[in-house]
Chains A and B, each alone.
Chain A
Amino acid sequence: MTEPEPGGASGSDGAETSGDVPRRSDRSAWNWLLLLPIVIPLITPLFNRDSPRLGGIPMFYWLQIAFIVLGVGATTIVYRVGKRRRS
């Protein structure tokens, strides 16, 4: 590719960095929280059994459905923390 680096973008970014808006970053220690809902639902020995049942539904099914809450919780926390740090 012979195309030059699009200059407009880097120029305006430079201005942004020195202005009142700090350079953005997605880095945060809180991001590690996202690992929980990625790893836990994949460990089958945790939930691969019939009892205890919940409302007649075997553990295999109700616990995996419950993991949805884990995913919602982790992504919500990471979003909220990131938003607070930015504002």
Chain B
Amino acid sequence: MSTGHVIELVISIVLFGAVAAMGFWAARWRKPGDMMHLDEWGLGGRSFGTWITWFLVGGDLYTAYTFVAVPALVFGAGAAGFFAVPYTVVVYPLMFLVLIRLWSVSHRHGFVTPADFVRARFGSPTLALLVAITGIVATMPYIALQLVGISAVLKTMGLGSHWPLVIAFLVLAAYTFQSGLRAPALIAFVKDLLIYAVIIVTVIYIPYKLGGFGHIFDAASKHFSAATPPTGSTVLGSNNQLNYATLAFGSALALFLYPHSVTGVLASKSRNVIKRNMSALPAYSFLLGLIALLGFMAIAAGTTPIGKDGNTIVPRLFDQMFPSWFAGVAFAAVGIGALVPAAIMSIAAANLFTRNIWREYIKRDASPRHEAWVSKIVSLLVKFGALLFIVVLNPQFSIDLQLIGGVIILQTLPSVALGLLTRWFHRWALVIGWAAGMAIGMWMLYTIPNPKTGHLHFGGSAFSLSKLGLDTDWTIYTGFVAVIVNLLVAVIATLILKAAKAPDGADATTADDYTADEGDPKVSEVPVAV
């Protein structure tokens, strides 16, 4: 290990230690009445204002993995990797009207998870269970990916072993257990301060050192045109434009279906907090746009990844271009940036298990105190599961699984997102649509090879339309096709079930619930009827 790496490591450890102390102290921040309640432990008291929500949801959606993987994608493929920018532009206007309705109905009925809502809206425990399982399965590899982000940094500092990762996660698990959602909410401030500082310095300093953006993009163009077979380009080709647009759109549809996004939204205190955040969160998209360009800077600087691990490209670029102390700050920013979403995701997955599996099927008379206990313990299990993913299995496996996660979480769109807008769908039609979307999505992913790793299946999400017999070289985002199939099936099945007068579930919500706001009376929590 070189002196430079030692300085980087010391700075990272100091910052990480400071953040861990904050995480434990967070239990006393905004003094909760009783921490042993999911509203407190799992949703921070449902009391966060505009600023805290901005940091919390920002830290939740724009994860450390995003900041490592997006430039890595741009480094490898060029323009196609930039889809993350339109994706995070489209998502806020798209979800604006939907999320305020979700907040209102959850505020009135005390819902903690998206599956809670589906349970009440469609009167179907089965549909709620499917939504809960889909959410947990999609979230697990996402947590594991945060570890991939941390381990990319550790590798760059010359630490190949898993131990630092295990220790970091144990500390994270301990303070999340104690402080719940307050810990990531508080840590998100530090994380963002570090990330903003690092990126602003980076996008000024590195292009200056490399001779300007013009030179960087010329070098990237030359790099891509020299490669045979072609690996990428600085603008899109004719065959991947449809995939680019559908991937951006499909990812935007999926983003707020993830349970951890819902957790961030429900922790805010009013509709206006959410609306203001829909205008303010794109500040992170701007940051992401700049970060994506790091991929091109790495090409121009001749940066090479460690082994075949493309995710090390950004840490390697920092290591190469910056003095050790600043690289240390940047590495700490990535590491801490991974802890915030990992904490929120594990809380969200734990809440799904507690509310929609444990209370629904195992202990129906669970008290709030009991619920909080179950969630705290499950949040630990979820994190250890994610750790096992990385330590025991190949990290590439979690990357592939996360890709699948995006496709499967999209299949909850008709019941969760459309369910907030209309009660037209029949509950069993939504179940059938979900199954159809899952089946077609899995089949499509199965047929996609990954030429880089040599895997024949589950190697990407760009599906060649030629496989459907179409005479074209265009590709399309798998999740987009799967959710369209899901919707079509759900519509047809609803028409058939309604014509056959199949019994539908009762709707426990009223039209007014969807516009309720801060200060409006809540429905007293009625135990779910058997």
Interface residues, chain A, with chain B CB atoms under 8 Å away: 1-3, 5-6, 8-10, 12-13, 16, 23-26, 31, 34-38, 41-45, 48-50, 53, 55-58, 60-61, 64-65, 67-68, 70-72, 74-76, 78-79, 82-83
Indicate if B15 sits at the interface (CB-CB under 8 A): no
Chain A contacts for B506, CB-based, 8 A: 1, 3
Flag if B93 contacts A8 (CB, 8 Å): no
A3-B529, A26-B101, A44-B241 known; A38+B234 contact, CB < 8 A: no
We find that the number of chain B residues with CB closer than 8 angstroms to chain A is 61
Indicate if B278 sits at the interface (CB-CB under 8 A): yes
A8, A26, A34, A42: the one contacting B521 at CB < 8 Å is A8
Taken together as a complex, chains A and B put the C-alpha atoms of A42 and B251 apart, in Å, by 12
Nearest CB of chain B from residue A26's CB, rounded to whole Å: 6
A12-B521, A60-B79 known; A38+B93 contact, CB < 8 A: yes
Flag if B86 contacts A1 (CB, 8 Å): no
Chain B contacts for A43, CB-based, 8 A: 245
A1-B123, A42-B90 known; A68+B286 contact, CB < 8 A: yes
Taken together as a complex, chains A and B put the C-alpha atoms of A70 and B286 apart, in Å, by 12
Flag if A41 contacts B236 (CB, 8 Å): no
Taken together as a complex, chains A and B put the C-alpha atoms of A70 and B212 apart, in Å, by 27
Taken together as a complex, chains A and B put the C-alpha atoms of A29 and B278 apart, in Å, by 19
Chain A residue nearest in CB terms to B86: A41
Additional A-B contact list (7), CB under 8 Å, known A5-B508, A12-B520, A36-B93: A2-B529, A2-B530, A3-B528, A34-B97, A44-B236, A72-B279, A76-B279
Indicate if B96 sits at the interface (CB-CB under 8 A): yes
Nearest CB of chain A from residue B89's CB, rounded to whole Å: 5
Indicate if B30 sits at the interface (CB-CB under 8 A): no
Q: Name 8 A/B residue pairs within 8 A (Cβ), A-sorted.
A: A9-B521, A44-B236, A45-B241, A48-B235, A50-B235, A65-B286, A67-B85, A75-B96
Chain B 91-116: CB-based contact to A (< 8 A → 1; otherwise 0): 01110110011000000110000000
B90, B108, B214, B512: the one contacting A37 at CB < 8 Å is B90
Taken together as a complex, chains A and B put the C-alpha atoms of A16 and B108 apart, in Å, by 15
Interface residues, chain B, with chain A CB atoms under 8 Å away: 79, 82, 85-86, 89-90, 92-94, 96-97, 100-101, 108-109, 123, 207, 212-217, 221, 234-236, 241, 244-245, 248-249, 272, 275-276, 278-280, 282, 285-286, 289-290, 293, 505-506, 508, 510, 512-515, 517, 520-521, 523-524, 526, 528-530
Taken together as a complex, chains A and B put the C-alpha atoms of A37 and B245 apart, in Å, by 13
Chain B contacts for A38, CB-based, 8 A: 90, 93-94
Chain B contacts for A78, CB-based, 8 A: 96
Nearest CB of chain A from residue B182's CB, rounded to whole Å: 27
A1-B505, A34-B93, A38-B93 known; A75+B521 contact, CB < 8 A: no
Chain B contacts for A13, CB-based, 8 A: 510, 512
Flag if A42 contacts B245 (CB, 8 Å): yes
B90, B235, B521: the one contacting A49 at CB < 8 Å is B235
Flag if A9 contacts B108 (CB, 8 Å): yes
Flag if A9 contacts B214 (CB, 8 Å): no
Taken together as a complex, chains A and B put the C-alpha atoms of A23 and B245 apart, in Å, by 39
| Majority secondary structure, A binding face | helix
Most buried by B among A23, A43, A53, A58: A58
Taken together as a complex, chains A and B put the C-alpha atoms of A19 and B270 apart, in Å, by 22
Taken together as a complex, chains A and B put the C-alpha atoms of A49 and B236 apart, in Å, by 8
Nearest CB of chain B from residue A47's CB, rounded to whole Å: 9
Flag if B235 contacts A9 (CB, 8 Å): no
Flag if B93 contacts A37 (CB, 8 Å): yes
Flag if B241 contacts A64 (CB, 8 Å): no
Chain B contacts for A35, CB-based, 8 A: 93
Flag if B521 contacts A24 (CB, 8 Å): no
List the 8 shortest-distance A-B pairs measured between CB atoms, nearest first: A56-B214, A56-B213, A3-B529, A24-B515, A41-B86, A34-B93, A1-B123, A44-B241
Flag if B215 contacts A56 (CB, 8 Å): yes
Most buried by B among A26, A35, A74, A83: A26
Flag if A56 contacts B216 (CB, 8 Å): yes
A48-B241, A56-B214 known; A65+B234 contact, CB < 8 A: no
Flag if A60 contacts B92 (CB, 8 Å): no
Flag if A67 contacts B235 (CB, 8 Å): no
Nearest CB of chain B from residue A73's CB, rounded to whole Å: 9
Flag if A1 contacts B521 (CB, 8 Å): no
Flag if B85 contacts A64 (CB, 8 Å): yes
Nearest CB of chain B from residue A42's CB, rounded to whole Å: 4
Nearest CB of chain B from residue A45's CB, rounded to whole Å: 8
Flag if A9 contacts B94 (CB, 8 Å): no
